[in-house]
Amino acid sequence: MASSASGWGWNIAARSLQLAAETYNEENGTDISVQEMGFDNWEQQFQTSVLSGSGGPDFSSVQNFDVAPYADKGGLMDLTDRLEEANIADKVVDGKLSTISLDDSYYAIPWDIGPTGVFYNRSVYEEHDIDPNSISTWDQFIEEGKKLPDGVSMTNLPPQDINLVWRMLFRQLGGQPITESGAININSEKSVRVAQLLNDMSKAGITTQIEFFSAGWFTALQEGTVASVASAVWLDGTLRAELPDTAGNWGVYKLPAFEEGGSRASNRGGSNVAIPTTVSDDAVLERAYDFSLWAMTNPEIQNQILQEYGIFPSLTAAYDADFYDEGQEFYDGQAIFSLFTEVAENIKPYRYSPVTSAIDNTLVTELGNMLNGNKSPEDAIQDAAETVAERTDRELA
């Protein structure tokens, strides 16, 4: 193996890989380096290297939804034999493998997941007599949200990221955006149920529309004018970093179910580590793979990353650490990581594909039409499915 390899990553993903590289380099006398980029810059440069067939890193973090498109373009190395030899399927949560797959082959080493929950403002809930323990269904969530006064919303439906909310809820129901044969399936009954829920929330007057991660969004969370955020475990790191003055005023509960006794688990976000096909030096390839597999399957490293940056591992061996059951001061002593572990083990698989971006873009438009009162949930979903099928030259399920 080569003595060095260089990787790319964005923001805290890069810093997490850098943290892992420090220990790996100390133990192996190697020189693993990781370049930190902004996400948009990473996307542009990585895409350029894949399409040109040259340049780029020896390994890189790659978001869940990007693995299938880049693999489809021939940009990611097929790691199937290597990962099967490493018994990776036995080491990660069941719902993770689908995010590294295309046509029954593996194109990345699984890393983090985004088990979901509802982050809520304790003082707002208490002031308006909302008991999170009494909210087990989305209908109850809506009814409790009606207790809030004008100017305070139970939750937020961001216009340009409404597809991400849809995907989280669709996956909660076990929905699949395409069939096994590749037909567009976002017009399914489960998809209509999700759209109907979003519409019901809007019509009940419990929502606002602020873009995620905008200044207005952070202000709303700081001031309590948005009382709840249905998101994923990684929001913990964002809240700690951006709103430190709110420490002790947050709590988390599982996503409400669509019906009593239904699933309260989903996933939002997550990434993997891939090796581009532009790596031509076999010795460098072997070192890049060795580091990446070691970092992604080392429980101690994964838990250091979680505690430092809030990136939640798919590696189940990591969950045995004592700190998962420890109360977190930022959450008034609640052991939030124990909750997210329970969710992680119940996440349903989700079929990403080369047409994921087309689905996302179309849903932003059509769900926006619905929330603006221009279409019914049924029409918005059917129109989205027909548009995607036409644009991608695929059949409609």
Quick: pLDDT tens for 141-174: 999 999 999 999 999 999 999 999 999 999 999 9
Reported as a single tens digit per residue, the pLDDT across 271-315 is 999 999 999 999 999 999 999 999 999 999 999 999 988 899 999
Alpha-carbon distance 315 to 192, whole Å? 33
Using the predicted structure, report yes or no on whether residue 32 has a pLDDT greater than 90.
yes
Nearest alpha-carbon partner for 36 in 21, 47, 52 = 21
The token pair at 160 is 């340009």
Reported as a single tens digit per residue, the pLDDT across 68-109 is 999 999 999 999 999 999 999 999 998 899 999 999 999 999
- Side chain identity at residue 202, one-letter code: S
Alpha-carbon distance 101 to 110, whole Å? 10
Alpha helices in 2-89 (DSSP H): 11-28, 39-52, 64-72, 80-85
Answer yes or no: pTM beyond 0.95.
Answer: no
Reported as a single tens digit per residue, the pLDDT across 221-246 is 999 999 999 999 999 988 998 999 99
Nearest alpha-carbon partner for 253 in 146, 195, 170, 335 = 335
pLDDT band, very low/low/confident/very high, at 199 (cuts 50, 70, 90): very high
Domains, the chain, ordered by start:
4-114+268-325 (3.40.190.10), 115-266+350-392 (3.40.190.10)
